[in-house]
Structure 1
């Protein structure tokens, strides 16, 4: 079997990537270990073509075109040409993309096309109370019509997406994103103080602003608490920085405790477990997620986690059993959950052990791998 993933986010040293990149890397390398050929095709971060093989995965990064008004056409043209080239040399059986990924792809008769629901434009526009962008909405509908099947990473994303888009009576499976529980495993670390760790893109939908607003409530109870923020910056349509907005509008209201809030920026993927290991509690108060990788990653390390009670949050966390669920729009509720964790170390130790066991059962790499292979085989 030869599977080709379409993504611009495959991890590249020195450049940030999101959850899709993490998923594709984890799944691709595991597929290769099980004698499946894997190619990854996407647009490069730079204006160069790059080809490399990493851990058995063939990665094709195509030079980025920036011609105003035509970049989308030129980029898709390059992707189509590369796919045909790869297919001619070593026939592809499955192409997988996220929601918009098939919009302008030229279909090849011998190939089956899968969309994995990571959270598309319709999904997040509704949850963030934004209007549907007509151009992106058009692309997503066009992409869904071209798919031969779908994979949803949570029941919530499947059910919520079908309110706006049709699956056209094509096969659809629920398969969560895997967690590499050998990479994310308990690490003994006795760092001083009460560290609150956030990881993810620093943007509004991840709830970071409300987490910062919750911090003063925590400091009243635990004066040694610090807030450690790991993740890349997000930029508004006008190019302005979200972190700069926080520094100008939110942080000045905190007074002297602002010195205990630390923005670390994006860190290499291999360093994420160390960041989690130093946490007294990992907090991810997202306004919306499709599944969310960071919560189960931290849970796999037996860390107490505070996750969102909305969307797929209850699918990932059993409240007060494997973690805590919060209202991400209410800073005081976020603070109360953090304070509970910091006040109940013995209970949270047991919670951490249950959390890892739960992750092993629900998100274990081998289990998820074979679910994916079984679904792919249905089309071959």
Structure 2
């Protein structure tokens, strides 16, 4: 079996990546170690053509080109040609991509095409309080019609997506994101007292505005608390920086409290566990997630985690047992949960241990890997 993943986000040193890239990296190398052929195709961050073998995974980064008005078409065309070239030499069994990924891809005979629901344009429209863009919405519908099967990473993303899009009576299998518990495990390094860690793209839908406002409330009770924000910046359609906007609005309003907040920027995937380990609590108040990787990753390390009560939150955390769920639109509620961790260290440690066991059982890499292999074999049969 030869599995080919399509993503522009496969982690590359010195460049930011998102959750899809983290997921593919987590499953690709173990699949290769089991003897399966694994390829990853995506558009490069730079104007260079790259082909390399990393941990048994063949990575093809197509050079980035900007052609005004037609970049999307050229990208789909170049990816289609790369798939065809690889397929001719090493027949591909499965091509897997995200919601929009098949819109203009040329399907090749003999290959099964899978869409994994990472959270598409329709899915996030509601949480981002925006209308569905006709062009992107049309592409997503076209992409769904071309898929042979679907994978949902949570029950919530499955049921919420079908409010907007049809699966066309094709198979939809529920398989959670895997967590690499060899990487995300208790490290035993000293905790920085009253340090709060956030990781993720710094944008509105991740609840960062509410977290900063919550920190102001926490600071009133714990004036030595610090907030570490790890993640890449998000850009508005006009190219303006979201972090810059935050600094000009929220941070200015906070006055000296802002000195306790640090925007670290992107952090290498392998370095994230150390950042979680140093924090007393990890907080991810997303307005919406498909499943989210950051919460179970931190839970796997035995950390006290505050996660959103919306969407898949209740599938990930049993409130007050394996973590804390918060109203991501309420800075007061977020602050309340952070303060609880600071004031209940023994209970928080017990909660973290339960969280670690829960993640190992539900999201363990070997368990999830086996489910993916069984799924791939089933649709090939």
Taking structure 1 as the reference length, what is the TM-score of the superposition? 0.99
Question: 1:211-266, CA deviations, whole angstroms, 9 ceiling, x for partnerless residues?
Answer: 00011211122121101111111111111111111111101111211111111111
What does 1:272-351 align with in structure 2 at a 5 Å threshold?
272-351=272-351
Q: 1:189 Cα deviation (Å)?
A: 2.1
The 3-state SS of whatever aligns with 1:378 is helix
Distance 1:252 1:68 in 2: 37
Q: 1:138 Cα deviation (Å)?
A: 1.0
Q: 1:193 Cα deviation (Å)?
A: 2.6
The 3-state SS of whatever aligns with 2:249 is helix
Question: 1:153-202, CA deviations, whole angstroms, 9 ceiling, x for partnerless residues?
Answer: 00000000001100000111000000000100001122443100000011
What does 1:1-380 align with in structure 2 at a 5 Å threshold?
1-380=1-380
The 3-state SS of whatever aligns with 1:286 is coil
Distance 2:27 2:305 in 1: 24
Question: 1:303-357, CA deviations, whole angstroms, 9 ceiling, x for partnerless residues?
Answer: 0000000000110011000000000100000000000011000001110110000
Distance 2:163 2:269 in 1: 35
Distance 1:35 1:192 in 2: 42
The 3-state SS of whatever aligns with 1:127 is coil
Structure 2: stretches of 5+ with no match in the other structure: none
Distance 2:72 2:238 in 1: 20
Q: 1:108 Cα deviation (Å)?
A: 1.1
Q: 1:65 Cα deviation (Å)?
A: 2.1
Question: 1:27-46, CA deviations, whole angstroms, 9 ceiling, x for partnerless residues?
Answer: 11111111110001111111
Instruction: Please report the RMSD computed on the Cα atoms of aligned residues, expressed in angstroms.
Output: 0.7
Task: Decide which moves more: 220-229 or 113-122.
Answer: 220-229
The 3-state SS of whatever aligns with 1:210 is helix
Question: 1:54-88, CA deviations, whole angstroms, 9 ceiling, x for partnerless residues?
Answer: 00000000012211111111111111111010000
In the alignment, is the contact (CA less than 8 A) between 2:192 and 2:280 conserved in 1? no
Distance 2:17 2:356 in 1: 25
Distance 1:349 1:271 in 2: 23
Q: 1:104 Cα deviation (Å)?
A: 0.7
Question: 1:96-134, CA deviations, whole angstroms, 9 ceiling, x for partnerless residues?
Answer: 000000111111110000000000000001221211111
Distance 2:31 2:161 in 1: 28
User: Aligned residues, how many?
Assistant: 380
Task: Decide which moves more: 87-96 or 69-78.
Answer: 69-78
In the alignment, is the contact (CA less than 8 A) between 2:192 and 2:279 conserved in 1? no
Distance 1:285 1:127 in 2: 13
Distance 1:215 1:41 in 2: 40
Q: 1:270 Cα deviation (Å)?
A: 1.1
The 3-state SS of whatever aligns with 1:371 is helix
Distance 2:154 2:304 in 1: 22
> Which stretches of structure 1, 4 residues or more, deviate above 3 A after TM superposition?
none
Q: 1:285 Cα deviation (Å)?
A: 0.3
Distance 2:262 2:126 in 1: 32
Distance 1:147 1:297 in 2: 30
In the alignment, is the contact (CA less than 8 A) between 2:5 and 2:96 conserved in 1? yes
Say if 1:159 and 1:192 are closer, same or farther in 2 by CA, change over 3 A.
Answer: closer
The 3-state SS of whatever aligns with 1:142 is helix
Distance 2:303 2:256 in 1: 29
Q: 1:267 Cα deviation (Å)?
A: 1.0
The 3-state SS of whatever aligns with 1:379 is helix
Say if 1:140 and 1:192 are closer, same or farther in 2 by CA, change over 3 A.
Answer: closer
